[in-house]
Amino acid sequence: MAKNPRDVVIVSAVRTAVTKAKKGGFKDTRPDDLLTAALKGALARVPGLNPADIGDVVIGTAMPEGEQGMNVARISALAAGVPDSVPAMTINRFCSSGLQSLAQAAACIQAGWYDVALTGGVESMSQIPMGGDRPSPNPKIMAEHPEIYEPMGITSENVAKRFGVSRADQDAFAVASNQKAAAAIAAGKFTDEIVPVVTQVFDGKGWREVTVSMDDGARADTTVEGLARLKPAFATDGASHAGNSSQMSDGAAATLIMSREKAESLGLDVLGVLRSYAVVGVDPEIMGIGPAVAIPKALEKAGISSGDVDVFEINEAFASQALYCVRELGIDPARVNVNGGAIALGHPLGCTGAKLTATLLHELKRRDAHWGVVSMCIGGGMGAAAVFERESAA
């Protein structure tokens, strides 16, 4: 694909490990500390950059309150050593927040408003629960449009029933996710993208210092027979349960992006080029179908087809919706979530988009592959997708 000086390139993409909410290594770690670690990690990989050249720090989080409130992007940027002359903002598009942050900053780079941005996402589901500490749905809107507030688990059941995704198929998908993730962890495939974090954990013996450098959600011994014994979590006649739904998790991720001309002036290696981004709206009652609508739109904008894509990272909010999207798009399952997905590795909401971007770019490099896609469904009835190109493989 033709090169343009204003192309947006990714020169650094890192993440923390992702750990189980309330149970894992980050259960007692503040999200602003997690994000600070990720930002420091992203900057450390580009020592030739003067941080004062960063035009903006844009961070996504799904529940921007409590420890994730007060413009967590600004707090963590300053804590990470970004000069106070560099602005920062926190954005929210629920589960795509970490990808939206990259897309939003990329648009500013393409427009020529600045040349460099530090983007990413963070979520501590240990500190801030799903829906926030004080969820307060509008009674009038809920009465007139109950679908707007449809619980995520029920949307999963809606997708399964409407499109005929069986529980057996969902459970098999979940087993595969765990097997791939466990194998990837054992092979050290995430090592290059993970920034180790030194933190404190409280247990029965008190506080102790730990270094968290490995995802802890994958269950290598997961079996279809074992999952079949789990009770439905959201509806008595349902198919979604704890074993085939994404895990609640804690984590942060960061990407350093810039114009092609800036990267060339610094002599930097490029992990990938953002070729397109699409965000769409869908029926909130079946919000999980979002990727099936967003991916074709992003592919069209990039001028390629699904058959050109080497690796897809499609967030596994639920096995029902992820499996539906793969089938609807006619994608070869062997190219989807090749190192496991959120069912096994966790879904730290606002972090996920940035996390998947880091995972995708490092996997493309490892495979010497060319095209990759990141996509996810979004609460409230939306979907997002981004297309990345690794030029050295062209």
Q: Which residues are catalytic?
A: 95, 347, 377
Instruction: Output DSSP code: residue 289.
Output: G
SS3 137: coil
- What is the Cα–Cα distance from 337 to 334, expressed in whole angstroms? 8
Token pair of 322, please? 């992820």
Burial class (CB in 10 A: 0-12, 13-18, 19+), 294: buried
Tell me the residue type at 147. Answer: E
User: Taking a C-beta distance cutoff of 8 angstroms, is the pair 190, 184 a contact?
Assistant: yes
CB-based contacts of 287, cutoff 8 Å, min separation 6: 150, 152, 155, 321, 377, 378, 379, 380, 381, 382, 383
> Which helix (H) or strand (E) element contains residue 200?
strand 197-203
Do 17 and 212 touch, CB atoms closer than 8 A?
yes
Question: CA 55, CA 111: separation in Å to the nearest integer?
Answer: 13
Amino acid 384 reads: A
392: left (phi over 0), alpha (psi -120 to 50) or beta: alpha
Going by C-alpha positions, the residue among 214, 194, 190 that lies closest to residue 363 is 190
CA distance 97 to 266: 29
